[in-house]
């Protein structure tokens, strides 16, 4: 396994772009271009359908997907009793979306969070339908861990499955999950590439190359996706993102009963992260004893130019599939993944007024984290009948080993305590002028003192999903998963020296924590009934659950019985009931969906709020909501993707009294109304125009029934508009112009739960892309 190299030796932007050019030339030359003849099929052999969707290099493609990639879903989306949004790569290409966070703008009900209190999040921190979904992100149906920002250069489509779905993947959030479907080799020969340049010093190049191969094995093909990026951030001059990645895919046996796939993904990121902007002066800011003042410039950078967020990712996947005939397919998938993150980030906290000057406190966090996964999954899909009832059965078993090692540096006040004699005033990070921060300030680097937390989970699971077709109008759908897991945690705790007086009362120390472990069983399920008034429509009612055991999100158990991660605690349980309808219009080209639902999460550990509190797992949160969707081709020239969500998020049972009372409060980071849309219209055969608008309602950062007495209470609602135009210069080359944040709207894209800092939304910016295909 490769590990992160020094940031001083990062590949240059020019050399990375040159590598893509060389690969684009080399692959077509190295591969045989003659088409491969398909092996003859048996008369009863079914038509093979691969997870990868059809490949095109043109932005005017249909936005609508008919299926998800996972074999656990036995029916097309039209007949699946659950809200599922599929965001295809054609939409992402029109928007020049580069990250998962940008892709998720195409579905309502999702917000991003910046971190908790003094901690700053640098990766995909996702809230969906009122619940944290950060650790429910999957790649090709396999959990993808790590607090990183994910690029979409090797993604065919993004599938957003809403509502508790424990039967699909095991432990998880009450909100559902996000699945990224990787690109794999196909029988079609093509060479696609995109070169993008934009304002704010942004350069990006991607290549997507596919060739049939003459290896003596029928249906062999190789696909290679490559990425090089050097991106600034609109409105945030000091925030940078450099990435390089490549993803080869080799498939043997395309179009034959037996297919073997080998995929590898490598990504290297060298970023300068954004620690946020102080919320001082924003609408709704609680000044308290501070003087009232205007909001600061959102371009202000309070961090250090030495901050970094370095990520290296390796992911190897092997899959073999065999069609036995008669609708029976066996699939086995293995994956070995390793992600390593090393970051140092400076965040802003509270504001003070001393000596006539407003200053903001800054803190630095450093962490080294590795995540590894080793898994093997076996799935059997079959169709059969019992009397007049037709069955579409998907069953299987999984073995999963996941590990996370994390070393955290100490807070910066600890730096001053490392000697035997202490200054009377501990050394702190330099405070920044609220309105005029300096990037030239000298910062202290947090030291690693040996504190760490290591954890792992070993799981074994069996599952089964069945769709019973009773007749042409009625279908029943059910699924169940039994999972046995063992989680163990070990680590050490660093205690700084006492800060009283000039001489420390106690020296610093490092103590090994007692190891913790938990073994338990989880049973997750879902059940749905679906009525089809016509072949192009469905009405359904579904119920489902999910379970999140202690330490299930981070592999970190906690010895304190007052902590939700205590081995003594019961799993949190999410449940969902949903009534919905789906319709395929205009000959199946346009999908219209609507759903009303209630999602709950119970068994949350809460205190009674007394001076000497007692704790019990009586906490419950509930989200009642409605979601509407429209995606596909409205006319031969007009493609549309739009979604509207309304949520009523409440804490049904929480802390009853005291300063942290939240019983009856709202759920944080859960706007009541969100809307997203994107449309493209082919004005001429060679000219396509498009655009979209997004709306996010007010977002609360605190659930307490008593309003916080400091910092920002919540964010303001906002609208953002984007535009695009693409012109075909020839059959091989098209130019695409994107204008993002058309009206240069200033808004808060994410907020920390303390309300002290925010991440601004991108300022108005322009991107020009050349899309190449041959």
- Strongest mean pLDDT among 193-197, 350-354, 407-411, 664-668: 193-197
The Cα 674–Cα 694 span in angstroms is: 8
Q: How far is CA 113 from CA 160, 282, 457, 702, 752, in A?
A: 18, 18, 26, 12, 6
| Per-residue pLDDT at 418 exceeds 70 | no
pLDDT at 11: 40
14 confidence band (pLDDT: 50, 70, 90): very low
| Per-residue pLDDT at 581 exceeds 70 | yes
Tens digits of residue pLDDT in 474-489: 999 999 999 999 999 9
331 confidence band (pLDDT: 50, 70, 90): very high
Tens digits of residue pLDDT in 497-553: 765 555 556 778 899 999 999 999 999 999 999 999 999 999 999 999 999 999 988
CA dihedral 150, 90, 772, 240 (to 10 degrees): -30
The Cα 761–Cα 699 span in angstroms is: 14
Query: Among candidates 606, 602, 634, which has minimal Cα distance to 621?
Result: 602
pLDDT at 508: 82
Tens digits of residue pLDDT in 459-475: 999 999 999 999 999 99
- Report pTM: 0.89
pLDDT at 13: 40
The Cα 340–Cα 3 span in angstroms is: 7
Q: Kindly provide the b/e burial profile for residues 541-568, where b requires at least 16 CB atoms within 10 angstroms of the residue's own CB.
A: ebbbbbbbbbbbbbbbbbeeeebbbbbe
Q: In the chain, what are the domain boundaries?
A: 56-417+429-493+511-773
Q: Is 392 in contact with 467 (CB distance < 8 Å)?
A: yes
pLDDT at 366: 93
User: How many CB atoms lie under 10 A from the CB of residue 292?
Assistant: 7
pLDDT at 709: 84
The Cα 528–Cα 165 span in angstroms is: 13
The Cα 139–Cα 118 span in angstroms is: 30
The Cα 165–Cα 578 span in angstroms is: 13
How much is the average pLDDT of 600-623? 91
Query: Among candidates 302, 307, 304, which has minimal Cα distance to 272?
Result: 307
Q: Where are the beta strands (DSSP E) in 636-743?
A: 638-653, 673-684, 687-696, 699-700, 711-712, 714-715, 718-728, 733-740
For 309-323, 413-427, 534-548, 747-761, which range has the lowest pLDDT when averaged over its residues? 413-427
The Cα 607–Cα 656 span in angstroms is: 8
Tens digits of residue pLDDT in 435-452: 999 988 888 888 899 999
How much is the average pLDDT of 611-638? 94
| Per-residue pLDDT at 10 exceeds 60 | no
**38 or 312, which is more confident?**
312
Tens digits of residue pLDDT in 17-71: 444 443 443 343 333 333 333 433 333 433 433 333 333 333 335 899 999 999 9
pLDDT at 147: 81
411 confidence band (pLDDT: 50, 70, 90): low
pLDDT at 116: 60
How much is the average pLDDT of 3-28? 39
How much is the average pLDDT of 562-570? 93
- In DSSP notation, 186-226 reads -SS-EEEEEEEEETTTEEEEEEEEEEEE-SSSTTEEEEEEE
How much is the average pLDDT of 198-203? 98
The Cα 401–Cα 485 span in angstroms is: 10
Provide the residue count of the chain. Answer: 774
Q: Is 551 in contact with 518 (CB distance < 8 Å)?
A: yes
What tokens does 316 get? 């190897």
- In DSSP notation, 417-455 reads GSSSS--SS---PPPEESSS--TT---PPPPP-S-EEEE
What tokens does 57 get? 């290099």
CATH number for region 56-417+429-493+511-773: 2.40.170.20
């Amino acid at each position: 396994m490769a590990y992160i190299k020094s940031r001083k030796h990062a590949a240059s932007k020019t050399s990375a772009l040159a590598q893509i050019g060389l690969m684009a030339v080399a692959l077509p030359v190295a591969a045989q271009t003659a088409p491969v003849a398909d092996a003859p099929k048996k008369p009863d052999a079914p038509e093979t359908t691969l997870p990868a969707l059809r490949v095109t290099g043109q932005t005017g493609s249909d936005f609508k997907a008919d299926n998800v990639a996972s074999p656990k879903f036995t029916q097309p989306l039209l007949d699946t009793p659950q809200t599922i949004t599929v965001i295809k790569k054609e939409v992402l290409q029109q928007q020049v979306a580069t990250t998962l966070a940008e892709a998720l703008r195409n579905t309502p009900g999702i917000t991003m969070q910046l971190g908790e209190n003094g901690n700053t999040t640098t990766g995909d921190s996702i809230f969906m339908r009122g619940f944290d979904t950060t650790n429910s992100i999957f790649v090709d149906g396999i959990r993808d861990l790590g607090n990183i920002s994910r690029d979409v250069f090797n993604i065919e489509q993004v599938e957003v499955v809403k509502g508790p779905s424990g039967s699909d993947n095991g432990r998880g959030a009450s909100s559902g999950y996000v699945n990224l479907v990787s690109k794999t080799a196909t029988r079609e020969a093509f060479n696609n590439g995109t070169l993008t340049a934009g304002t704010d010093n942004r350069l990006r190049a991607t290549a997507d190359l596919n060739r049939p191969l003459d290896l003596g094995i029928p249906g062999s093909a190789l696909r290679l996706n490559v990425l090089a990026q050097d991106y600034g951030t609109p409105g945030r001059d000091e925030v940078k993102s450099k990435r390089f990645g490549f993803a080869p895919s080799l498939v043997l046996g395309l179009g034959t009963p037996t297919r073997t796939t080998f995929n590898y993904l490598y990504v290297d990121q060298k970023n300068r992260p954004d620690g946020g902007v102080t919320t001082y002066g924003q609408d709704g800011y609680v000044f308290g004893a501070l003087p009232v003042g205007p909001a600061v410039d959102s371009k202000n950078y309070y961090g250090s130019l030495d901050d970094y967020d370095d990520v290296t990712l390796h992911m190897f996947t092997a899959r073999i599939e065999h069609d036995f005939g008669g609708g029976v397919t066996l699939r086995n998938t293995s994956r070995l993944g390793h992600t390593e993150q090393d970051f140092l980030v400076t965040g802003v906290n509270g504001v003070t007024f001393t000596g006539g000057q407003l200053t903001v406190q800054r803190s630095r966090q450093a962490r080294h984290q590795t995540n590894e996964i080793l898994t093997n999954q076996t799935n059997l899909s079959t169709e059969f009948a019992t009397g007049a009832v037709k069955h579409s059965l998907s069953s299987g078993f999984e073995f999963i080993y996941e590990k996370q090692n994390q070393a955290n540096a100490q807070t910066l006040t600890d730096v001053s305590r490392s000697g035997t004699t202490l200054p009377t005033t501990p050394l702190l990070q330099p405070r920044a002028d609220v309105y005029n921060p300096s990037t030239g300030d000298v910062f202290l680097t947090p030291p690693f003192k040996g504190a760490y937390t290591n954890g792992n989970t070993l799981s074994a699971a069996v599952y089964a999903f069945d769709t019973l077709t009773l007749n042409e109008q009625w279908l029943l759908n059910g699924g169940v998963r039994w999972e046995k897991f063992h989680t163990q945690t070990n680590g050490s705790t660093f205690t700084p020296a006492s800060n009283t007086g000039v001489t420390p009362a106690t020296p610093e120390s490092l103590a090994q924590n007692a190891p913790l472990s938990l073994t338990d069983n989880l049973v997750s399920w879902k059940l749905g009934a679906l009525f089809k008034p016509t072949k192009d429509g469905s009405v359904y009612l579904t119920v489902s659950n999910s379970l999140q055991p202690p330490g299930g999100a981070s592999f970190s158990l906690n010895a304190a019985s007052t902590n939700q991660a205590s081995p003594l605690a019961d799993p949190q349980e999410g449940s969902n009931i949903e009534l919905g309808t789906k319709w395929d219009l205009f000959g199946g080209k346009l999908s219209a969906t609507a759903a009303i639902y209630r999602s709950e999460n119970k068994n949350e550990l809460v205190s009674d709020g007394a001076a000497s509190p007692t704790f019990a797992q009586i906490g419950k949160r509930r989200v009642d909501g409605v979601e509407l969707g429209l995606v596909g081709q409205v006319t031969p020239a007009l493609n549309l993707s739009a979604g509207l969500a309304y949520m009523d998020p409440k804490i049904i049972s929480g802390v009853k009294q005291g300063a942290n009372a939240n019983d009856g409060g709202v759920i944080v980071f859960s706007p009541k109304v969100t809307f997203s849309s994107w449309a493209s219209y082919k004005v001429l055969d060679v000219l396509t125009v498009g655009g979209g608008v997004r709306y996010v309602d007010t977002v609360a950062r605190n659930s307490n029934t008593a309003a916080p007495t400091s910092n920002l209470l919540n964010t303001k609602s906002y609208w953002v508009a984007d535009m695009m135009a693409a012109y075909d210069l020839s059959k091989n080359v098209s130019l695409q112009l994107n204008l993002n944040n058309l009206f240069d709207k200033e808004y808060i894209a994410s907020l920390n739960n303390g309300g002290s800092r925010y991440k601004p939304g991108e300022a108005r910016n322009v991107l020009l892309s050349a899309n190449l295909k041959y």
